[in-house]
Amino acid sequence: MDVSRSDLVAGLRDVVPLLLTELPFGVVVGAAAVEAGVPATAAVGASLLIYTGAAQLAVFDLLGRGAPLAVVGLTGLVINLRYLMYSASLAQHLRTLHRRSRWTFGYLLTDPVYALTVGAFAERSPRRAAWYYVGAAVPMWFAYQGGTLLGILVGTSLPPELNVGFATPLLFLALLAPTIEDRPSAAAAGVGGIAAVAGAGLPLELGLLVGSLVGVAAGLLAERGWS
């Protein structure tokens, strides 16, 4: 696939603000692993293999409390079910790419990367959008891995008043606001957000999944004029 330098550079440029939140989020994840008693090598391996902060935080918390491995694995799987929706929306744009490229894109897919790049696939040809995706996703991977490594090394010694974890909700708010352009998107964001907050106490971190599904349903209803 020929390199589209302009789209690659555009992805690199647009992702820079997100790197400022991805790095501290990685620090939070790394510190959580150390606090749960997870060995440093296992924590680094988890970040490389799982590469999703929400699932890692839940997994580390359960491991720290001595939960059965079956429960730990199921929890991580449930939390990551939202990626089925992300992948389904991008699949139509990636069909022409080599299977190896599609697997790589799937590995690099995260919440902020999806939110940032989904519009690129609608506005660009598959080849151009793919290079935009690479420009955005690869720096995010390095920022997250570097953050988790830093968190493993020094995260537990950071002053609590820094509250670096607060950068994460700010990240998603910054990504969400520009996408609310009409009634369906406003309904999806509002109803989905309320449902996710209301379901925060559900077991296995199901609140996020419930909020996502309810938000999608609300957006569809609003689009069809049923709400």
Would you kindly state where each structural domain of the chain is located, as residue ranges? 5-163, 180-227
Asked if pLDDT for residue 226 goes beyond 60, the answer is no
What's the predicted TM-score (pTM) here?
A: 0.72
Q: What gap in Å lies between CA 43 and CA 34, rounded to an integer?
A: 8
- For the chain, the average pLDDT equals 80
Give me the mean pLDDT over the 201-209 stretch.
66
Q: What is the pLDDT of residue 138?
A: 95
Higher pLDDT, 205 or 25: 25
Q: Which pairs from 144-147 meet CB under 8 Å and 24+ separation?
A: 144/22, 144/23, 144/25, 144/26, 144/47, 144/51, 144/53, 144/110, 145/26, 145/47, 145/48, 146/23, 146/26, 147/22, 147/23, 147/24, 147/25, 147/26, 147/27, 147/29, 147/30
Q: What is the pLDDT of residue 160?
A: 61
Give me the mean pLDDT over the 30-53 stretch.
86
Asked if pLDDT for residue 156 goes beyond 80, the answer is no
- Tens of pLDDT, residue by residue over 169-188, are 555 565 566 667 778 778 88
What percentage of the chain exceeds 70 in pLDDT?
A: 82
Q: What is the pLDDT of residue 193?
A: 78
Asked if pLDDT for residue 18 goes beyond 80, the answer is yes
Q: What is the pLDDT of residue 197?
A: 76
Query: Cβ–Cβ contacts within 10 Å for residue 127, how many?
Result: 15
Asked if pLDDT for residue 89 goes beyond 80, the answer is yes
